[in-house]
Chains A and B, each alone.
Chain A
Amino acid sequence: MKILYAAAIAIVVVGYVGFAQGVNEAPEGVELTGNWVSRSFTEWNTNTHRAFDFLGMPLNEAAHAWTLSHSEEQASEPERQCAFYSSTYFPYGFAPLPMWKETELQTGSTVAWVVGGWLDVVPMVIWMDGRPHPSTYAPHSSSGFTTGVWEDDVLTTHTTHMIANLLHRRAPHSDLATMTLRFSRHADILSLTGRIEDPVYLSEPLYVSREWELSSVPVNRAAVPCTIAYEGVAEGTVPHYLPGQNPFVEETTKLWGIPLEAVQGGAETMYPEFRKKIKDKYVRPEKCVANAAELAAGGCGGPGRVAPVIN
């Protein structure tokens, strides 16, 4: 009888341990591994947005002050050249999205999913083994710390511990920012949607998304080693603009006729009713405007400007 009891307990324990490992696994039939590429139908190319352009971003007053003082030349500071973007880059950036999973050698269970890096962003490791996020005061990094769970057949990730960095379109995010991403696959399309929260610079959550298509062409999977060089900004210098001196503040208004109250962002610019507020202030340009360099890069779009996905 004792043997029977012992066997029953062993079965229960082994079964539960095995099952507990299984909760990290993708549901059967759902596969995210592959090379995902985006044609960037969303926020495309340099002519999609300008140096001072925060349209539709729920920035608060602190962020507004930050954007007025920010100079893009800061990226050339020797101290910042290799800082890389944070993981908020993925739903915004132009890099491909190679994904693969790292497994535990003995059991084959998934320890983590990885989203590959690029020229200016390091890979994002999505821990699936149930480990907790570090303490509030643990060191931060550009990639932050990310855990993931399967919500039915959608991979949902949560990122904390990112260092203060640039959000989309040169807006800031603080080191208190967090990001929730959802990887939702529909046939050969991956819908990446997410929510970024930041108590320092955002008055409401910022919802982001990008569409990806499965490609058979291998893509870069790792960040490229960075070497610091002189780019015109001396060490110890922080390029910036004093109040009233940012030369780019009116650029978007002059180029596209969009009033400044929209350009500087704010939660109200996300909502449909904001259109009423600017209806009498918006001046539609007669034709698409872009400088020579932007036109050469496909600034106004046109046939052949969007490369097809190879699959």
Chain B
Amino acid sequence: MGHPFFKNVYLLIGAGGLAVILLTMQDRGYSQTGRGTTQGNQTAPNAKAAAPFDPTGYWVSLITNNWRFRMVPPAKGDYAGLPISVAGKKIADAWDPARDEAAGNQCKYYGAASIMYQPTRLHITWQDDNTLRMDTDAGTQTRLFQFGNRTAPQGRSTWQGSSVAAWEARRANVGRGNNTAPSARYLKVTTTNMLPGYLRKNGVPYGESAVLTEYYDLFQEQDGTRMMFVTAVVQDPVNLEQRYIVISHFKKEPDGSKWDPTPCSARW
């Protein structure tokens, strides 16, 4: 066993094993060197550079559930599946689309708390290095997600409100050294300062104090299809008895050839 040949064999086996371990660890993401991570105490230069995935492009919603509440305006008084409160029901029972039109409020169902649950296409772009812009063809709305250490700005409320965004990680900053941050995995967006709007087209309300929290997950299927799932949580202690949670599905499209801007409608 003392023959040089065996020494070389031992050496090769040892080195090979070590290489396999290191490669496997890299595949598992333990190297912490991918996009969206921070290296040691260095912070990522901006939100665009730190993005763990590329959300830009055209996306189309797939309406495979709650279809009759989303694709067509449901009947007045149909609140099935919504944790509507007594106060909220009082407002919804008085829903009158003609009155909304007369008051110029035909976009009440196109606010941030409901626009993502609608049948729509999205066009997502980086407006600048720390602002993600999302346009919808349904209602021709624009949302701006502001990254950075910002607090929700005050001032005049809008349909889309003020959105503060961050790349977040599910896992804690544990193990593998104290200087490494966990890799970001999803986009979290918190929206406030919204004008009162509708969660459902038949007048189910959310108020100006409502808070919308969204979690964006992107996955790629084995056939190459890219999907984005948006988990939306609406908290409105006035109009809702508890938080309201729904998930919207979006499929990536190759281009904007099906982009079809349509104005807000209070009736359709």
Contacts and interface: CB of A to CB of B under 8 A. Distances in A.
B247 A182 contact: no
Nearest to A22: B28
A207 B249 CA distance: 7
A303 B217 CA distance: 32
Interface string A274-311: 11001100101111110000000011111111101100
Given A2-B1, A152-B183, A191-B231, A272 B63 contact: yes
Interface in A1-60: 1-2, 5-6, 8-9, 12-13, 15-16, 19, 23, 27-30, 39-45, 47-49, 55-57
A288 B183 CA distance: 47
A48 B62 contact: no
Contacts of B60: 271-272
Contacts of A211: 231, 245-247
Contact of A208 (B11, B65, B85, B233): B65
Contact of A186 (B78, B215, B251): B215
Nearest to B200: A301
A41 B83 CA distance: 8
A302 B81 contact: no
A303 B89 contact: yes
B81 A8 contact: no
B102 to A, nearest CB: 19
Given A269-B67, A304-B241, A275 B7 contact: no
A112 interface: no
Contacts of B24: 19, 23
A39 B245 contact: yes
A157 B18 CA distance: 30
A12 B170 contact: no
Contacts of B99: none
Contacts of B2: 1-2
A211 B242 CA distance: 14
A56 B221 contact: no
Given A29-B171, A282-B72, A9 B119 contact: no
Nearest to B183: A152
Interface in B52-82: 60-68, 71-82
B217 A272 contact: no
B186 A186 contact: yes
Interface in B18-52: 18, 20-21, 24-25, 28-29
Nearest to A182: B219
Q: How large is the interface on B (under 10, 10 to 19, 20 to 34, 35 or more residues)?
A: 35 or more
A284 B219 CA distance: 36
A29 B80 contact: no
A206 interface: yes
A118 B211 CA distance: 35
Interface in A196-253: 205-211, 213
A41 B183 CA distance: 31
Contacts of A257: 72
Contacts of B61: 272
A102 interface: no
Interface of B: 1-2, 7, 10-11, 13-14, 17-18, 20-21, 24-25, 28-29, 60-68, 71-86, 88-89, 119-121, 137-138, 169-172, 174-175, 182-183, 185-186, 188, 215, 217, 219, 221, 225, 227, 229, 231, 233, 241-242, 244-247, 249, 251, 258, 260, 268
Given A180-B221, A308-B242, 20 more contacts: A5-B10, A28-B174, A41-B82, A41-B244, A44-B81, A48-B81, A56-B62, A153-B170, A191-B229, A207-B62, A209-B229, A210-B247, A258-B72, A271-B62, A272-B120, A275-B268, A284-B73, A299-B80, A302-B79, A304-B241
Interface of A: 1-2, 5-6, 8-9, 12-13, 15-16, 19, 23, 27-30, 39-45, 47-49, 55-57, 151-154, 180, 182, 184-186, 189, 191, 193, 195, 205-211, 213, 256-258, 262, 269-275, 278-279, 282, 284-289, 298-306, 308-309
21 contacts: A9-B10, A12-B21, A19-B24, A30-B171, A40-B81, A43-B66, A48-B80, A57-B64, A154-B219, A191-B231, A193-B219, A193-B229, A207-B251, A208-B65, A258-B68, A274-B119, A278-B72, A286-B75, A300-B80, A302-B89, A303-B89
